[in-house]
Structure 1
Amino acid sequence: MADVFINGRFLTQPISGVQRYAQEIVTALDGLAGEGALPARYVLLTPPGARRLDLAQIETRVVGTRAGHLWDQLDFARVARAGTALCLAMTGPIALKRQVVVIHDASVQRHPEHFSKPYVLAHTLLDRLLARRAVIATVSEFSRAELADVLPVAERDIVVAPNGAEHLSIAPDAQVVERLGLTKGGYFLTLGNLTRNKNLAVALRALGRLAPGSAKLVAVGRMERSVFGSAGLPEPGPDVLLPGRLDDAEVAGLMQGARALIFPSIYEGFGIPPLEAFVNDCPVLASTAPAVREVCGPAADYFEPHDDATLATLMQMLLDDHDGAIRRDRLAKGRERVARYSWRGSARILADACAKFGA
């Protein structure tokens, strides 16, 4: 079988859900290669200046001189045309026919108001061109139906390779709770950068409905206080903590000490944080976004994305769970949900999709 060339441009980008997916899939492929379980040689191609992954079997090769989309379309495409391309982070070169491209969701088409007009135009065109030439993969059954609806591709032809959460099954930073001036069980947690889709506003409004001082809200992610007004968010009060971006061990430590993770997204293709919470025995209060319900099933408690009153009621329910009965029930269901997903399993699915191109 011809070589498989992995598009490594994600290693030049800040890590969010898409980049996490790409990184963990490549790491899982590296593990499969070490077991002799891949039918082809895999090579990770990156632009100059990209971060490096610690890979034992997959060769990393820096190619070209360009950056951004030009690197995809010219430098990566020039090398990858010798085999099969695997593009894990929403985009790929339109000139290649032998490629698998993971498009995580249809957010550009469904919620164009969350993006600039040039971005919407560019990605709408790019997605349609890729759908005509590449094998499209995505991360959930919900996203498969969404993409089939907005792109010229049959739903049955879209490969589903979900996210996993093993990356956060790690030794937690046991000191992070104390270091941030928190007490175990005395706070709720949100994860995500400050964007309209992540919908932090509903969590802030819900916190404001609770008795002052009854709980804190820790909002982890890339955000600045100066952005709150322009993003339409209420000004954070004394019970809101903004620690910025934290490493995986710190996030795991915060999850293990939290009363619950609040996941209020308006739209998701999958949503990794609830799975990460389940791995770390953290209950989840989640929006009713369809992909989130698909992933969490009965393990989460749900609220409509803009319904801060219901979210506040759910937060109070967990604060009043003095004997821990509700928590134990949710954690047992969470462990069952997370067992359904793995990076290794999804890497295998994508490797099989690449193998169908043959020699």
Structure 2
Amino acid sequence: MPFSRDSVLPHLYVNGRFLGRSVTGVERFAHMVLDRLHDRQPADGRAPGVTILAPPGIERPAKWPRFGFRTVGSGGGHRWEQLSLPAAAKGGVLVGLCNSNPVRPRRALTVIHDAAVYDFGQGFARSYRLLHRTLGRILARRSHIATVSRFSQARLAAILRLPLADITVIPNAADHIRAIAPDPAILARHALTPGRYLLIVGSFAPNKNLPRTIAAFQSIARPEDRLVLVGAAVKSFAANGIDSVPDGVILPGRIDDESLMALYANARALVFPSLYEGFGIPPLEAMQFGTPVVASTIAPVREVCDDAALYCDPEDATALGTAMRRMLDDDDLHLRLSAAARARALAFRWEDSADRLLEAVAAIG
């Protein structure tokens, strides 16, 4: 049931530490949910129901004039979060949208996006892994926990020893990208033919499975085929034991959102071969354009993509290659999955995510 706009809520204090970082998937979640909450704030000058609390050096975001904003304490990072932030949030509920929060406040909501530090520890530095494993276990006893998928809900419940129902699911969405006008100049720049290239959006992080996927592409590629990797750099190939960028693989480098939207809109398919995810945002972004997905069989990706993807075992290079070749060659399959992708994209909206956040805050009281 949608959140009732007439409900009486406590004041929301937002942990603004994320505003000092680059916008990746976790920070995008925070921005989008806050955008939708801001749309609901009164414009008549009354006291807002949301106040962002930020460490020194972070400027007030111009796009949220109806929110309160306060610079509190000194320093930054985890030290600021644990020592300076709690006192500033007294009298309301402190919301941490990006995997961390102070451990002192009892009236708090913390969004932990996945269980990767516990399940896929090899993807993190030892110090980061130890810190966030410890922090997560403490927050599970001190804060209300939310996450972005039923898969992550189940994993966190098992690891943190919480009842499943005590963890709120607040999904990601991608409907914000409909407001971004694609810039097709990137296709000409890299000699890409619309509908004749495969796209990967991801880095060489271990869970993204790129070396195996590149090898799979090489095994099935014809001279005219292209695989476009957004997010991977040339130096990453050497670090992963690949001497040079393979034929047919295109690296656009750092690109803006308009260029990325053009790549999504004109790709034959998105390839998303992850070994581990908490959600899987790129498939949902691709589906906004009706672009089909060659997807890993892991549970969170199935949760997001449902029947709008061609699935394959991410640890089987032969299966990956076969799926890519089939998506390039089978027009009937492509047409069916394109229609399914457009329909699936409608199931995720940031407006609904904001409602779920407010439902969770209302339950804290």
Scaled to the shorter chain, the TM-score interval is over 0.9
Cα distance 1:233–1:138, how it changes in 2: closer, same or farther (>3 A)? Answer: farther
Q: What amino acid is aligned across from residue 335 of structure 1 in structure 2?
A: R
Shift in alpha-carbon separation, 1:106–1:3, aligned structure 2, 3 A: same
What letter matches 1:347 in structure 2? A
Residue 328 in structure 1 maps to residue 335 in structure 2: yes
Q: Give identity over the alignment, percent.
A: 40
Is residue 2:74 matched to residue 1:89?
A: no
Tell me the amino acid that sits aligned with residue 79 of structure 2.
L
Superposed, 1:54-93 pairs within 5 Å as 54-93=63-102
Task: Say whether 1:154 aligns with 2:160.
Answer: no
Shift of 1:351: 1.2
**Whole-angstrom distance in 1 between the partners of 2:193 and 2:167:** 45
Distance 2:69 2:243 in 1: 45
Given the superposition, is the C-alpha separation of residues 155 and 216 from structure 1 closer, same or farther in structure 2, using an over 3 Å criterion? same
| Residue 39 of structure 2: aligned partner | 31
Per-residue deviation, 1:340:
1.2
- Once the 2 structures are TM-superposed, how far is the Cα of residue 44 of structure 1 from its aligned partner? 1.6
* Structure 1 CA distance for aligned equivalents of residues 165 and 131 of structure 2: 26
TM-score by length of 1: 0.93
> Is the counterpart of residue 100 in structure 1 residue 105 in structure 2?
no
Any residues of structure 2 matched to 1:250-261 within 5 Å, and which?
250-261=259-270
Give the superposition deviation at 1:67: 1.6
Tell me if 1:342 matches 2:352: no
Q: Please tell me whether residue 196 in structure 1 is matched to residue 206 in structure 2.
A: yes
Q: Please list the CA deviations of residues 290-346 of structure 1 after superposition, one character each: whole Å capped at 9, or x if unmatched.
A: 10001101100111112221121122112213xx32222112111221111111111
SS in 2 for 1:328: helix
**Could you tell me whether the CA contact under 8 Å between 1:107 and 1:267 is conserved in 2?**
yes
The CA RMSD over aligned residues, in Å, is 2.0
Q: Which residue of 1 aligns with 2:218?
A: 208
- 1:217-296 mapped onto 2 (5 Å cutoff): 217-221=227-231, 223-233=232-242, 235-296=244-305
2:147 counterpart of 1:138: yes
The reply on whether 1:41 has 2:49 as its aligned counterpart is: yes
Q: Do residues 354 (structure 1) and 354 (structure 2) align?
A: no
Residues 48 and 67 in structure 2, CA contact (< 8 A), matched pair in contact too: no
The 5 Å alignment of 1:293-332 reads 293-321=302-330, 324-332=331-339
TM-score of the superposed pair, with normalisation by structure 2: 0.91
Q: Deviations over 1:147-187 (max 9, x none)?
A: 00100311111000100111211321122211232111221
| Aligned-pair CA distance for 1:82 | 3.3
CA distance in 1, matches of 2:75, 2:157: 32
SS in 1 for 2:321: helix
In structure 1, distance between residues paired with 2:228 and 2:200: 6
Report if aligned partners of 1:204, 1:234 keep a CA contact under 8 Å in 2: no
- Stretches of structure 2 that go unaligned for 5 or more consecutive residues are 1-8
Quote the offset at 1:14 in angstroms. Answer: 2.0
* Distance of aligned partners of 1:30 and 1:233 in 2 relative to their CA distance in 1, 3 Å threshold: farther
Q: Which runs of 5+ in 1 are unaligned?
A: none
Count of residue correspondences: 353
4+ residue segments displaced more than 4 Å: none
